C-alpha cells in the first residue's frame, strides 16, 4: 500500500523507538520531565524565542494560542483556507468564543494590504473587536506554499499599529524552512506565538510545540491544563522530537523533490485541470469539470495507492509525500500516473 493521504501516517523508525525507550522522564505536570524541558528549550532557541511548551496535538497548540490572544466575542483574522477555521472541529468558537474574518488570496496566503482593511476600527463598537491575526506556513489547503519572510515584516507592523497578536500555525513550518533555506531565528522577530507539529514531516508518533514570548507561554500552562493536555512521563514522546530534529529535518528536501516530480507527471494528463506549483510536500490536483473523481480513485486504489480524496473539495485531490514514501514507492506511483 502506498499511502499519500498525509504526512501524519508515518511510523516511528526502530532508531527513533530506541531513543524513546532510553529517555529520562519525570512528571511533566510538576515540571519535572528533563527530556520535555530539553526539547522545549531546543525549539525555543531554534526560533530565537523565549519559551516553548509541549502539546499532544497541533490542534491543541493552536487552540491554546487563540485562547491566549483573545476574549470571548473577539475576532480573529485568518485566510479562508486556514486550518484553525476549517479543520479544528469548530474549536475556535467552542473554546474561545471568537468569530473569524476570513481573507482571500492565492495559495492560502493573503496580502498585507488587505489585512489592513479587514481590521475593525476599535471605537466602532457595533463590530467584533479584532484581536489576533493567524497565518499558516506552509499553507495546507493552499497547497504547501511558503510565505515570503518580507511579508511577515509588513504584517507584524500592521499588527503592532493596531495592537493585534500575531500567531503562526506552523504545523509544517519545517518544510518551509528547508524549502526556502530560511533562518528560523528570523521568525522570532515577528510572531508572538508559533505552533509546530512533530508528527508530520518530522515523523514523530505524537506531539506539537507552542513556542513564543514568555508572557504568552506562561499563560498557555493553565489553558493546556484546562484542555486536558497536561501529561505526565511524556519525555518518552519528547525524545522522539529530539531525535527527529537531528535526523529528519534536512531530509524533507527529499519529500519536496518527489512531490515536484509527481506534480509534473500529473500536469500533462487530460483529466487534470490544474496542479499547484509545488514548493514543499503537498500536491493539490484539480480535476477537469467533466471527470468523475471515482474513476480516478479506482485507478489508483486498484494499484493500492491512496490519496486524500475528499477534504480539499469536490474536484480536488491532495497528495502528501513523507518519510515512509520510499524511492521504490515513488517509481511505482509514477508508473501508475503514466498509465492514467
Ligand X SMILES: *Cc1c(COP(=O)(O)O)cnc(C)c1O
Residue ranges in contact with ligand X by CB under 6 A:
57-59, 62, 83, 136, 140, 169, 171, 197, 199, 208
Q: How far is the CB of 122 from ligand X (least distance, A)?
A: 29
Q: How far is the CB of 210 from ligand X (least distance, A)?
A: 11
Looking at the Cβ atoms of 83 and 131, the one nearer to ligand X is 83
Position closest to ligand X via CB: 58
Which of 245, 251, 227 is closest to 44 using CA atoms?
A: 245
In eight-state DSSP terms, residue 13 is -
Which of 72, 67, 151, 74 is closest to 109 using CA atoms?
A: 151
Task: For residue 127, count other CB atoms closer than 10 A to its CB.
Answer: 12
Q: How far is the CB of 313 from ligand X (least distance, A)?
A: 16
Burial class (CB within 10 angstroms; exposed 0-12, middle 13-18, buried 19+) of 302: exposed
Looking at the Cβ atoms of 236 and 296, the one nearer to ligand X is 236
Which residue shows C-alpha cell 524513546?
20
Q: Roughly how many angstroms between the first and final C-alpha of the chain, as a whole number? A: 18
Q: How far is the CB of 230 from ligand X (least distance, A)?
A: 17
Looking at the Cβ atoms of 108 and 119, the one nearer to ligand X is 108
Looking at the Cβ atoms of 63 and 120, the one nearer to ligand X is 63
Q: How far is the CB of 125 from ligand X (least distance, A)?
A: 32
Looking at the Cβ atoms of 145 and 265, the one nearer to ligand X is 145
Which residue shows C-alpha cell 482571500?
104
Which of 161, 155, 163, 80 is closest to 111 using CA atoms?
A: 155
Amino acid at each position: 500500500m502506498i499511502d499519500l493521504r498525509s504526512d501524519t501516517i508515518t511510523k516511528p523508525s526502530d532508531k527513533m523507538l530506541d531513543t524513546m525507550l532510553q529517555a529520562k522522564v519525570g512528571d511533566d505536570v510538576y515540571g519535572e520531565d528533563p527530556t520535555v524541558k530539553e526539547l522545549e528549550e531546543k525549539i525555543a532557541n531554534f526560533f530565537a524565542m523565549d519559551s516553548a511548551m509541549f502539546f499532544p496535538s497541533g490542534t491543541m497548540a493552536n487552540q491554546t494560542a487563540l485562547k491566549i490572544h483573545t476574549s470571548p466575542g473577539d475576532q480573529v483574522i485568518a485566510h479562508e483556507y486556514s486550518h484553525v477555521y476549517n479543520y479544528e472541529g469548530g474549536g475556535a468558537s467552542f473554546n474561545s468564543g471568537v468569530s473569524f474574518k476570513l481573507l482571500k488570496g492565492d495559495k492560502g496566503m493573503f496580502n498585507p494590504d488587505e489585512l489592513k482593511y479587514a481590521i475593525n476600527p476599535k471605537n466602532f463598537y457595533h463590530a467584533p473587536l479584532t484581536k489576533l491575526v493567524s497565518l499558516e506556513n506552509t499553507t495546507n489547503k493552499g497547497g504547501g506554499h511558503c510565505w515570503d519572510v518580507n511579508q511577515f515584516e509588513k504584517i507584524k507592523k500592521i499588527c503592532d499599529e493596531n495592537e493585534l497578536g500575531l500567531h503562526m500555525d506552523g504545523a509544517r513550518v519545517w518544510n518551509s524552512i528547508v524549502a526556502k533555506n530560511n533562518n528560523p531565528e528570523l521568525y522570532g522577530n515577528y510572531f508572538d506565538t508559533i505552533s509546530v507539529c512533530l508528527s508530520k514531516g518530522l515523523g514523530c508518533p505524537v506531539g506539537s510545540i507552542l513556542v513564543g514570548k514568555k508572557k504568552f507561554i506562561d499563560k498557555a500552562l493553565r489553558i493546556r491544563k484546562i484542555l486536558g493536555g497536561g501529561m505526565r512521563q511524556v519525555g518518552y514522546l519528547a525524545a522522539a522530537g529530539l531525535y527527529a530534529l537531528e535526523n529528519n529535518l534536512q531530509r524533507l528536501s527529499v519529500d519536496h523533490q518527489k512531490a515536484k516530480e509527481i506534480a509534473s507527471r500529473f500536469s500533462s494528463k487530460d483529466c487534470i485541470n490544474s496542479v499547484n506549483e509545488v514548493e514543499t510536500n503537498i500536491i493539490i490536483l484539480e480535476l477537469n469539470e467533466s471527470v468523475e473523481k471515482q474513476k480516478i480513485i479506482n485507478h489508483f486504489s486498484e494499484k493500492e495507492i491512496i490519496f486524500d480524496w475528499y477534504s480539499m473539495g469536490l474536484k480536488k485531490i491532495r497528495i502528501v509525500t513523507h518519510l515512509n514514501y520510499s524511492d521504490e514507492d515513488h517509481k511505482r506511483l509514477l508508473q501508475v500516473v503514466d498509465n492514467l
